[in-house]
Amino acid sequence: MSEQNEHAIAAEDRVPLKEKVAYGAGQVAGAFQGSLTEQLMQPIFVLSLGMPPAWIGILSAIYRIWDGITDVLMGWISDNTRTRWGRRRPYIFLGAVLGGLWLPIVWLVNPEWSLTAMVAWLIFTQLVMFTFFTIWNIPYQSLMLEMTPDTHERTNVAVARQYLAAAVWGVMPWAWYVAEQPWFGATESRPSILQGALWVSVGAAVLTIIFGSLPALFCRERYYKTLKKDHRVSLWQNIKATCENRPFRNLLLVSILFLLGMNAKIGLALYLRVSYACQGDKQLAAKLSGYEGTITTIIALLGIPLFQWLARRYGKRRAMTWIMAVVFLSSISTWFSYRPDMPYLSIMSGILLAPTSSAIWVLIPSMSGDIVDHDELETGERREGAFAAVYSWVFKFAVSAGMALSGALVAWSGFDETIGAVQSAETIFWMRLLLATFPAACVIGAMVISTRYPLDTKAILATRRSLELRRGKL
């Protein structure tokens, strides 16, 4: 049964195509700033420079703790900013420029340094990188929540962003493969893969500055004129009120479990592909990662209209539950798809996961906009920055916890980086079992919680009517 969700989107609620394209293009910068270094970190620092895999997880946790502090501060600063250009757009422009310029710095590491020196370098460069990313990302995420008051148009904006984000996600998995090529040349002190990573990052930096600035130049802050210019909310009140919102807490729990499972899977899948499916052939593993990324991006794009229709016809809550069910099947399938006699079969679990990977990042931002409306009805405040900041912190915490857990699970399985890529049969067995079952268990929990999300479409539309009776239409 549907939730009787169909309604026509009013002309004044529609976001112009120019703004949708500009906003979606910004996600190119978000992908490069947020994920490029992490895409290259384990293949280079663990497989090429010999850093223990557990260290990558530990360092990620350190970054996210810092990131959480800066996210909350940036959300509060953004909500309370008043300029002639708005609350969000000045920071989006500044963050795009600073983040792009800093992106290649991490790859200036010297491979002859000690482990301690490498760890210190990573901590310094990544903390600065994540600070610049926060300056851009929190206002960027906040901007989406105020581009339209219509629940379905919010989904349409998220869909436009996902289509454009797919362009960069389709090529991102090839970063490792490109960095592995000998074109860049080795020196006496630097292997070619470090040179490759540096130049890949330089190219990404240029795109980050260009595309990351577009939302600041072309998008509109729809709620800005309704704000009281002299009204300010304290940092603690901002955090407290945000965390007390019941639908938001539900969405956070779903996201935490989902992200724990998916990010624990990333490390396990990487090492299992190299050590088992590809029998130690890192070039083949890098190529398969590239193929998987490109193919799954295409399939993800084809799947977006289906989940967009499901969300509109049956409600975002029910669509979220169905997404989790497909993710569960993808996780279980890895037990059968990672095989040394058929290495290319290892991309099948990613293909099964593909339609849902885009759908969930369409639904969550759209649901967040509905939650901000719900919060305005209860508190009288428009605090998009606070919700974006808290969600971003939880997102990054869950990603880091998942990566740290991934490193711990790889280490627990008996993986030994000192013996090269090919590991013992016992280690391979435990890595296969963990890859198939741990993400699946996390997703089951997320699926159960998502069924209790309180904002169906009827409640969302009623909230909007109540708000417009109180403060008028935008």
Do 19 and 147 form a contact (C-beta atoms < 8 A)? yes
* Alpha-carbon distances, residue 42 vs 53, 263, 336 (angstroms): 7, 13, 25
Tell whether 140 is covered by a domain.
Answer: yes
Angle at 90 between CA 86 and CA 91, to 5 degrees: 115
- Other beta carbons within 10 angstroms of residue 17's beta carbon come to 9
What pLDDT was estimated at residue 299? 83
* Sign of the C-alpha dihedral computed for residues 58, 59, 60 and 65 taken in this order: positive
Tell whether 194 is covered by a domain.
Answer: yes
Alpha-carbon distance of 34 to 42, in angstroms, equals 15
Tokens representing 472 are: 């008028």
Angle at 168 between CA 176 and CA 282, to 5 degrees: 15
What pLDDT was estimated at residue 127? 92
Tell whether 362 is covered by a domain.
Answer: yes
What pLDDT was estimated at residue 6? 55
Tell whether 300 is covered by a domain.
Answer: yes
Say what the pTM is. Answer: 0.69
What pLDDT was estimated at residue 346? 87
* CATH classification at residue 408: 1.20.1250.20
DSSP string over 272-315: HIIIIISTT-HHHHHHHHHHHHHHHHHHHHHHHHHHHHHHHHH-
Tell whether 230 is covered by a domain.
Answer: no
pLDDT tens, position by position, for the chain (474 residues)?
444 455 678 778 888 999 999 998 898 888 888 778 877 887 788 777 778 877 877 787 787 778 778 888 888 888 888 888 888 899 999 999 999 999 999 888 888 888 889 889 989 998 999 899 999 999 998 888 888 888 888 888 888 888 877 777 777 778 888 887 777 776 666 777 788 888 889 999 999 999 999 999 999 887 666 655 555 666 777 777 788 888 999 999 998 998 888 888 877 888 888 888 888 787 888 888 878 877 887 887 787 888 778 888 888 888 888 888 888 888 898 899 888 888 888 888 888 877 777 777 778 888 888 898 888 888 877 778 888 888 877 887 787 778 778 878 888 888 776 666 677 788 888 888 998 899 899 989 998 898 888 888 888 888 888 888 887 776
Q: By residue range, what is the domain housing residue 324?
A: 16-223+235-471
What pLDDT was estimated at residue 228? 55
Tell whether 248 is covered by a domain.
Answer: yes
- Other beta carbons within 10 angstroms of residue 320's beta carbon come to 27
Looking up tokens 């869909």, which residue turns up? 159
Angle at 217 between CA 85 and CA 78, to 5 degrees: 45
Tell whether 7 is covered by a domain.
Answer: no
Polymer length in residues for the chain: 474
* Sign of the C-alpha dihedral computed for residues 463, 469, 470 and 473 taken in this order: positive
Tell whether 376 is covered by a domain.
Answer: yes
Q: How far is CA 102 from the centre of its chain?
A: 20
Tokens representing 155 are: 């989904």
Q: Which residue from 324, 353, 20 is spatially nearest to 169, judged by alpha carbons? A: 353
Q: What is the pLDDT of residues 452-467, one digit of tens each?
A: 888 888 888 888 888 8
As for how many domains the chain has, the answer is: 1
Do 308 and 159 form a contact (C-beta atoms < 8 A)? yes
